Structures are given as structure tokens and as C-alpha cells.
Amino acid sequence: MANYCAKFVKCPFFHRYEDNRIVCEGLAERNTINLVFEIPEDRKQYMNHYCYGIFECRDCHVHMMLDSKYEEDSDEQIRQH
């Protein structure tokens, strides 16, 4: 199910959200990372701070981890050529 507010998300790794969780791209193919919050309001605050801002999303730990995954993949491709 598509989320109306998801169209405003700036993070390239974001997939979707539900009441108390955010689903992002995973570390391997065909998997995802789920951030589960005890209170839906905490999920909203997290999204407001990290997911909606183009620069703030870079401060998110999931974003940093996934960004480094692509840097490692890029470095590996360069070494192979």
C-alpha cells in the first residue's frame, strides 16, 4: 500500500512506512531493514528528521550503512577493471 506522505521522502533507500515502522532497502538482494518503533509518534519524528530532508537523511545510521555498501561495491568494480 502506498503512503501519501512517502512521496515527500528524500532518502533513496526508503521503501515504505506503516504505523510503527519504517522499511528501508536491505544490505543484500531481496531483503529489507525494518526500523520498529514502540510508539507511532516516534516513527513520525524519525521520518521528519531523517527521511524528509535531503541532507538530514545522510545523518541516519541506516543511510550511512547503505551508502557505505555502495561505496564498497564501487571500489570493488574499480579494482576489477
The reported pTM is 0.78
pLDDT of residue 62: 94
pLDDT digit string (tens) for the chain, length 81 residues? 455 567 789 898 999 999 999 999 999 889 999 999 999 999 999 999 999 876 788 899 999 999 888 886 655 555 565
61: left (phi over 0), alpha (psi -120 to 50) or beta: alpha
pLDDT of residue 71: 81
pLDDT of residue 23: 96
